[in-house]
Amino acid sequence: MRSPGLKGIVLTLTFLLSSCQVNRITETPKVNIKDMVNSPEVTLVDVRIPEQYAEETARNAINIPLATIPDQLESLKGKKVVVFCNKGIQADQAVEILKKNGVEVYDGTSWKNVKAIQDEVNNK
- Active centre residues (catalytic): 85
The SS3 call for residue 83 is strand
Q: Residue 116, Cβ neighbours under 10 Å: how many?
A: 13
d(CA 60, CA 22): 38
Whether the CB-CB separation of 85 and 66 falls below 8 Å is answered with yes
